[in-house]
A and B are shown apart, each in its own frame.
Chain A
Amino acid sequence: MAAAAGSSVSMRVRPCLYANRISSLKSFSLPNQRSFLSFRVRPVPTRLRVSCAAKPETVEKVCAIVKKQLALSPETVVTGESKFLALGADSLDTVEIVMGLEEEFDISVEEESAQSIATVQDAADLIEKLVEKKSA
């Protein structure tokens, strides 16, 4: 499973960068897809429709910033699915984390978008979207 995911990641990343220009390639960006055919018949969650899944490196950087802000022990497992609230973050932590991410990635996050971030993955996806907008 991991190997399959690994090979599909490298295919995913490149099309993702051009998602704005080549809309048909958005179908390649869904995680956990075993075949493109299965994508067409399965309903797609709204979040995945509008953003590509972020690179693992981005997710890792976000995890590191979150762990630092929340002063979590090194053994604490933080993944893309981790919810900020479930890691013990309160609203001030969440806002501080967003500021840390803005600094790290040199982006600017709208207040409304900042509030819709619930998981590490949400943050990573938003970051990539904003970084992409910057370079486009």
Chain B
Amino acid sequence: MKMRCCFQRSFCSASSSLVPVQLPSPMETHFWYVLPDQVKSVSLLNQYMGLLSPIEKENVLSMPGHQLQKRALLARALVRTTIARYQINGHVDPRSLKFKKNIHGKPEVVWQSEDGWCQPHLHFNISHSSSMIACGVTSNSRIGIDVEEKQRKIKNNILAFARRYFSLHEIEYLSSISDSEVQHQEFIKLWTLKEAYVKALGKGFSAAPFKTFTIHVKTDYKRSFVLAEDLLFEASEIMVESLNDPKSLTSSWQFALLELVGSHYAAICMEKDKSIKVGMKVPVRLTAWKTIPFVEDECVSGTDAVIPIGGLIKL
């Protein structure tokens, strides 16, 4: 089913509603991304602006310069339209969604409860680089994502940066890489994984300063194979170890690392389903869409646009 969706392109006219999507199943992440360079139509941007709350509009317009404003606008439009697709209690107007921040500042949806219905456990997290905006969605599982351009320039010396902010194990790993380009790539990958973890925790940076946890990547095996209709990638095993509290349930977090459209690394960190026994290896199920909300959705998992490079991933 998932492989077949790659060949499905649903084109909607700008005036039509968003194509609805089923909620992700347990251990599944839905990953939506938009490429700002592909959104040029002024009328479309105005349509997105019309979805925003007054405060969001103000924030967008307060950004210095057109590019930053466009990026901020697309970020809010992506979040609102993406969540609205999940049509949990009937048709949802993206405009009507309300957001709040939890006590640590992590954005959440405020679900309007009708007749005391069970609140949907939809979790989301957003990230953007200058050329991509992404939104990850799960049901019943905390999620954090981070996207970075592969070629992103680091102004400081990478090892100096790592010594300053990363854990000992990570510094050793980066120091062992002699090729500066590979070192740069591994640095960016590590950064995205660490960011995704902290964002998934949702407790703010100070709850898990980067130096207090280590991301371990075990690459004893690298294989992919087809299992029924799914593609299973065992790129590596990624685990997080908390240095302050080794007994803490860091084994309850699952990671996936992707290369997107040849230009970005994307890290996804999600909470394992409670039903999964400790130590059991379960893949992250992933469905990814490239979208221009109201215009075009293209399912890209299983294409070259989304290449798993870390973790255990099922497409």
On A, residues with C-beta under 8 Å from B are 68-69, 72-73, 76-77, 86-88, 90-92, 95-96, 99-100, 111-112, 115-116
Q: Which residue of A lies closest to B165 (CB)?
A: A95
Binary flags per residue of B163-185, CB closer than 8 Å to A gives 1, else 0? 01100000000000000000000
Interface residue range, chain B = 20 to 34
Contacts of B64 in A (CB 8 A): 72, 76-77, 86-88
Asked, given contacts A86-B63, A112-B209, A115-B205, whether A99 binds B68 with beta carbons under 8 Å apart, the answer is: no
In the complex, the 5 A-B pairs of residues with the closest C-beta atoms, listed nearest first:
A115-B205, A111-B209, A88-B68, A99-B156, A76-B64
**Given A95-B165, A96-B154 in contact, is the A88-B211 Cβ separation under 8 Å?**
no
CB-defined contacts of B62 to chain A, threshold 8 Å: 86
Instruction: Say yes or no for B272: interface residue by CB 8 A criterion.
Output: no
Inter-chain contacts of B65 with A (CB < 8 A): 73, 76, 88
Known: A92-B191, A111-B209. A99 touches B164 (CB 8 A): yes
Q: How far is the CA of A86 from the CA of B152 in the complex (A)?
A: 20
Name the A residues within 8 Å of B285 (CB-CB). none
Residue of B nearest to A65 (CB): B155
Which B residues form the contact surface with A (CB < 8 A)?
A: 59, 62-65, 68, 71, 128-130, 148, 152, 154-156, 160-161, 164-165, 191, 195, 204-206, 209-211
Please measure, in the bound complex, the distance between the C-alpha atom of A96 and the C-alpha atom of B154, giving whole angstroms: 8
Known: A92-B191, A111-B165, A111-B210. 18 other contacts (CB 8 A): A68-B155, A76-B65, A87-B64, A87-B68, A88-B130, A92-B148, A96-B156, A96-B161, A99-B155, A99-B160, A100-B155, A100-B156, A111-B209, A111-B211, A112-B206, A112-B209, A115-B204, A115-B205
Q: Can you spell out 12 A-B residue pairs with CB atoms less than 8 angstroms apart?
A: A86-B62, A88-B63, A92-B195, A95-B161, A99-B155, A99-B160, A100-B156, A111-B209, A111-B210, A115-B205, A115-B209, A116-B206
Distance between Cα atoms of A95 and B130 in the complex (Å): 17
Nearest chain A CB to B209 CB, angstrom units: 4
Q: Which residues of B contact A96 (CB under 8 A)?
A: 154-156, 161
Name the residue on B nearest A94 (C-beta). B205
A90, B128: Cβ atoms under 8 Å?
yes
